[in-house]
Amino acid sequence: MTPSDPNPPKGGLLARLFGLGQTERREEKSETPERANTAAQEPAGQDEFLPDWDARSENEEPASAPLAIPVKETAASPPLAIPVVPPSPPAPPVIEAPSPATEAMPQLCPSCSAPRKGKQAFCEDCGWMFPAGDVPTPRLASIPSPNSTKPAAEPAMIAKRIKERYEITEKVSERAGVTRYKGWDHASGKPVPIVILQTSLPDMAEGLTEEIPVVAVEEPSEEEIMPTFEDSTAVALGLPVAMPPTETNWPSIGWEKALLDKAQHPALPAVLDHFVENNCEYLIESGADGRGLWDAWDEPEANAETRYGWLKQLAEGLHALHKAGAIIEGLRPDIVAVNSANQAVLSDLSDLLPLPLPADAPIRGTLYTAPELVLSPQQVDARADLYSFGALIYSLEYLHHALEEKDFEHQYSPKLITDRYPDVHPTFFRLINKTFVRDLNTRFPTDEASKVDATGFTELISALDVCRRSFDNVRLDIAAWTTTGMVRTGNEDAFAFLHGVESRQDDLWEYALLLLADGMGGYEAGEVAAAMAIAEMRKHLLAQPMFSALAGKETPEGPVDVEATKQALQGALKHANKEVYTYGRTPGKGRRGMGCTAEAVYVDNRNVIVGHVGDSRTYHLHQGRLIQLTRDQTLVSRLVELGQLTEEEAENHPRKNELQQAIGGQPDVVPGLYQGKLKRGDWVLVCSDGLTNHIPTTDLEKMLTREAAGSAEEAARRLLNLVNLRGATDNATIVVVRAM
């Protein structure tokens, strides 16, 4: 099943709901010719299928009138205000028996073009449900024989133009005499997509057949030669009378125009024109000029803020539609588009239904249709759109395809999402279980919200806004370990991380500062420099407003300012350098030449931001690829950048550990600043060179993606154990972050 196909396969929910076995009872009803001639006019009973979109009442005009040939408008005198009586209902059509020269032409399935067998209710090949009352039409003997591979079908594309500007191209649907087309507006010279609604009006000549009383004029006397202005004269008939548009009763063009005029929302089509031409009434609506929601949702650059922003726009449009008095029977991804202004728009209103729902409203009954529309129409209200809205979200976010029968336990009862996706986002779980459920009373609104909006859409819009803000936020699993190694006597490395989590209402913030230093300068000097650098960086950073929550103060509101965070990390490294440099040159306190490398890393729900001095490193594993965010500030690394050494030559170069910058080495340093975006499943690894001297990048990538997918703690222990197994000639320290 494709996303644009709303029809379930054979043997699906609709088959079980309506029963294939009822076909035989329908055949029994049409045993006699008299019964056959009147079957289409009898009201549907319990054994009848629900009417299809093409179902028409007995007095209704044919659903598809031939398109009129466009004619240029000419100036004419205003029509006279002559009362017109609607034409009397046409006589029921008489079905004549086919002559010997004709034979019954098999009806083709609109979905797969397979011939229909007799009056069978469902196509045996694909499960399409034929409209109730449809019978195969006679085929003339001159038509090609059924031996042809595919009998001729009505062309899908039409080439007509009305009002000398609106081009009709493709038929979308037909319902109760109103036909909907795709088209183009050529008024501006550049074609603009539009939707065209057409309905045929009764013949205007029939409206003039009623006798109109004429006031009698007295015979003039012999003395009168010319009549006075006060004399009444007979009115001559024969001038054309403009037929008024159809009334605003559903379904009609007038009803839909009044609905859209009242709703007035960017997510709904706008009414562009309304006119009568060649005995047909037309309504011109704006069309979608962008891509379908299926394609837009899967675009690589689309994130939760964008996607759930579209859904919020769509929910607001439906809410406006409810206030105007209508619902959409089966909201599906294939009838939603995202236009060039990044606005979600309902691109097809074929499924519009009025509220309150009429007793005889035709229901298509797709897998996106709310159960009460079929099972209890008297209970239908705006909450029916909650069901199909939840089905739409489920299809987009988790299934990535249109709903199928296997997605349901039984009729209209979707499978519990946690049975299929146990680790589903709790906010999404609540959203689905307050919309896409059979029980009407389980859906939005909750008790308190029902006092504000009984439709539940105000609460739905609020829930979608929470999803928009939070779905791209990751949770942080953090672990840190250090080892002296297998050669050194003491450990000159130092680290610290500060991890905070905070939640208010439906918003949750999580953030961490990761600090690492690798000391140098010999015993009783390197470890002093490393410990001092960690202490000074922490003190400096916690004094900044953006990190105040880690110091026990109030969390600043709003998204993180990436550039401001970079400057704060840079300031912390410069401050630590100044303090270590001064301390190392104070007599009796330190040792000249003591120093350390340093990494100052900020991680939150969406970002990783790095300040860097020396040759310790920060890695980011994204979509299975390990990226070194930092660049070693060494002589060898600089030669590689200049093209004088290859990466392979640099690995074994005798001066590869010769630093160009270090904390405490000079009065000032110029830290490197880097950033990345975190996604669920990513890893961040901060480490000293004691790790990277023994484990190449390829092995690090394998460890993080394959062996240590369970937890950050697991990854940290395994990496350090591997370093020790390979000799561990230096101290090694790591801080690991797993984005969940």
Residue 557 confidence (pLDDT) above 70? yes
Residue type at 535?
A
CA distance 13 to 35: 31
Task: Determine the pLDDT at residue 223.
Answer: 46
Residue 309 or 84, more confident: 309
In whole angstroms, what is the distance from residue 728 CA to residue 722 CA? 9
Q: For 474-533, how does the pLDDT look when each residue is reduced to its tens digit (9 = 90+)?
A: 999 999 999 999 999 999 999 999 999 988 888 889 999 999 999 987 656 899 999 999
Say if CB 595 and CB 521 are below 8 A apart: yes
Given a cut of 60, whether residue 21 has pLDDT beyond it is no
Q: How confident is the model at residue 31 (pLDDT cuts 50, 70, 90)?
A: very low
Q: What's the pLDDT band for 130 if we cut at 50, 70, 90?
A: low
C-beta separation of 432 from 478 below 8 A: no
Read off φ and ψ for residue 560, nearest 5 degrees: -70, 140
Residue 335 banded pLDDT, cuts 50, 70, 90: very high
Host H or E run for residue 291: strand 291-292
At residue 115, the pLDDT reads: 77
Predicted confidence at residue 403, as pLDDT, reads: 96
Residues 6+ apart with CB under 8 A from 231: 217
Whether the predicted pLDDT of 202 surpasses 70:
yes
| pLDDT of res. 710 | 80
Tell me the per-residue pLDDT of 647-674, one tens digit each, with 9 for 90 and over: 777 777 878 778 999 999 999 999 999 9
Checking if the pLDDT of 623 tops 50, the result is: yes
Predicted confidence (pLDDT) per residue in 677-697, tens digit: 999 999 999 999 999 999 999
Helix (H) or strand (E) holding 319: helix 304-324
Question: Which range has the worst mean pLDDT, 84-88, 564-568, 584-588, 735-739?
Answer: 84-88
Judged against a pLDDT cut of 90, whether residue 273 lies above it is answered with yes
Instruction: State the average pLDDT over residues 296-320.
Output: 96
Q: Are 311 and 297 in contact (CB under 8 A)?
A: no
Contact 737, 512 (CB under 8 A): yes
Question: Which of 215-219, 285-289, 529-533 shows the lowest mean pLDDT across its residues?
Answer: 215-219
Domain boundaries, the chain: 1-33+104-143, 291-470, 476-739
pLDDT score of 614 more than 60: yes
Say yes or no to pLDDT of 328 above 90. yes
140 pLDDT band, cuts 50/70/90, is very low
Closest by CA position to 515, among listed 491, 532, 490: 532
Strand-pairing partners, residue 180, are: 173, 197
pLDDT at 139: 36
The DSSP string of 147-169 is TSSS-----SEEEEEETTTEEEE
Which pLDDT score, from 0 to 100, does residue 108 have? 75
Residue 210 pLDDT: 44
* Predicted confidence (pLDDT) per residue in 411-446, tens digit: 889 999 999 889 899 999 999 999 999 999 999 999
Cis geometry, peptide bond prior to residue 136 (ω within 30 degrees of 0): no
State the pLDDT at residue 633. 95
Which whole number is the average pLDDT over 296-324? 97
Per-residue confidence (pLDDT) for residue 67, from 0 to 100? 39
> Among 1.25.50.10, 3.30.43.10, 3.40.50.300, 1.10.510.10, what is the CATH number of 291-470?
1.10.510.10
Let me know how many helices (H) and strands (E) the chain has, helices first. 18, 25
Average pLDDT over residues 112-140: 59
303-312, 395-404, 501-510, 637-646: range with lowest mean pLDDT? 637-646
| Burial status of residue 140 (CB atoms within 10 A of its CB: 0-12, 13-18, 19 or more) | exposed
For residue 19, the model assigns a pLDDT of 44
Over residues 710-729, mean pLDDT: 94
Percent of the chain past pLDDT 90, that is, above it, reads: 59
pLDDT at res. 652: 75
- At residue 1, the pLDDT reads 44
Pick the range with the lowest mean pLDDT from 223-232, 357-366, 617-626, 677-686: 223-232
What residue type is assigned to position 694 of the chain? H
At the topology level of CATH, where does 476-739 sit?
Answer: Phosphatase 2c; domain 1 (3.60.40)
Look at residue 153 in the predicted model and tell me its pLDDT.
42
Q: What pLDDT, on the 0 to 100 scale, is given for residue 714?
A: 92
For the cut 50, the answer to whether the pLDDT of residue 329 exceeds it is: yes
pLDDT at residue 54, as a whole number = 44
The pLDDT of 601-627, averaged and rounded, is 96
What is the Rg, in whole angstroms, of the alpha carbon atoms belonging to the chain?
A: 38
Tokens of 164: 């000398």
pTM of the model: 0.71
Share of the chain above pLDDT 70, in %: 73
Q: How far apart are CA 319 and CA 38, in angstroms?
A: 42
Position 320 pLDDT exceeds 50: yes
Q: What is the mean pLDDT of residues 45-69?
A: 41
Q: Cα-flanking dihedrals φ and ψ of residue 623, to 5°?
A: 55, 45
Average pLDDT of the chain to the nearest whole number: 80
Instruction: Work out the angle at residue 274's Cα, subtended by the Cα atoms of residues 273 and 278, and round it to the nearest 5 degrees.
Output: 120
Q: Given a cut of 60, is residue 723 above it in pLDDT?
A: yes
Task: Summarize the confidence of residues 281-292 as an average pLDDT.
Answer: 94
Give the model's confidence band at 307: pLDDT under 50 very low, under 70 low, under 90 confident, else very high: very high
- Which H or E element spans position 428? helix 426-433
Statement: residue 37 has pLDDT above 80 = no
Place 79 in a pLDDT band, splitting at 50, 70 and 90.
very low
Query: Rounded distance, CA 737 to CA 607, Å?
Result: 12
Report how far residue 720's alpha carbon sits from residue 724's, in angstroms, rounded to the nearest whole number.
6
- 399 against 92, higher pLDDT: 399
14 and 368 Cβ atoms separated by less than 8 Å = no
